[in-house]
Amino acid sequence: MEILMILTVGVLVTVATYMILTKSLLRVILGVVLLSHGAHLLFLTMANLKQGSPPLLGEEASSYADPLPQALILTAIVIGFGITAFMLVLAYRTYKAHGTDNFDELRGTEDE
């Protein structure tokens, strides 16, 4: 199962990289969202996907899924969300100010 997951992550990363390399601000943001999904899934995968109970002690199970990566991913999701939200608002402001979302046209001032 790990190998299947890693391949999935590979596809996510590839597409995310491709989106980040385009010239449109919005596509870059979408790429960053995909990249964070890939990172989160990779995190979970690399901590072994051997079956076990959810990490809730009330279950009285013999083995539990690894709780530490879950805690780390939870933190990462929230931070990723914050960054994405900020980027979206920034994109909105950029568009208001410059009237474009194309990087080729967002080149700063002439005498830079």
Partner 1 sequence: MSTLHFVALAPFIMAIFVPFLYHKFRHIHTGWFILPIPLLLFIYLIQYLPLGGAAMETVERSVPWVPSLNIHFTVFLDGLSLLFALLITGIGTLVVLYSIYYIANKKEEPLNNFYVYLMMFMGAMLGVVLSDNLIVIYVFWELTSLASSLLIAYWFHKEKSRYGAQKSMLITVTGGFAMLAGFTLLYMMTGTFSIREIISYGDVIVSSPLFLPAMILILLGAFTKSAQFPFHIWLPDAMEAPTPVSAYLHSATMVKAGIYLVARFTPVFGGQPEWFWIITSFGLFTLLWGSVSAVRQKDLKGILAFSTISQLGLIMSLLGLGSAAFHYEVVDGQSLYTVAVLAAVLHLINHATFKGSLFMVVGIIDHETGTRDIRKLGGLMTIMPITFTISLIGVASMAGLPPFNGFLSKEMFFTGTLNSATLDVFNVQTIGFIFPIVAWIASIFTFVYCMIMLFRTFTGNHQPEKLEKEAHEAPMGMLISPIVLASLVIVFGFFPNLLAYTIIAPTMQSILPGLLEPGEQFYVNVYHWHGLNTELFMTMGVVFFGAMIFLNARKWQETAFYLKERDPLNWFYDNGLVGLIKGSTAVNNVQMTGKLRDYFSFMFIFLVVVTGYMLWQRDAIAIDFANTAEISPYMYLISLSLILSTLVVPFLSKRISAIIVVGVIGFLVALLFVVFRAPDLALTQLLVETVMVVLFLLVFYHLPELRKESFKPAFKISNLIISIGVGLVVTLTALSAHAFSAANPISPISDYFVENAYALAGGNNIVNVILVDFRGLDTLLEVLVLGIVGLAVVVLIKFKSQKGEDV
Site for partner 1 in 36-65 (CB under 8 A): 37-38, 40-42, 44-58, 64-65
Site for partner 1 in 62-81 (CB under 8 A): 64-68, 70-75, 77-79, 81
- Nearest approach, Cβ of 32 to partner 1 (angstroms)? 11
Among 62, 82, 110, 111, binds partner 1 (CB under 8 A): 82
CB 88 within 8 A of CB 78: no
Instruction: Show Cβ contacts of residue 49 under 8 Å, excluding neighbours closer than 6 positions.
Output: 1, 2, 5
Among 8, 62, 105, 110, binds partner 1 (CB under 8 A): 8
105 binding partner 1? (CB under 8 A): no
What would the two tokens of residue 49 be? 């996907």
Neighbours of 66 (CB within 10 A): 15
CB 45 within 8 A of CB 70: no
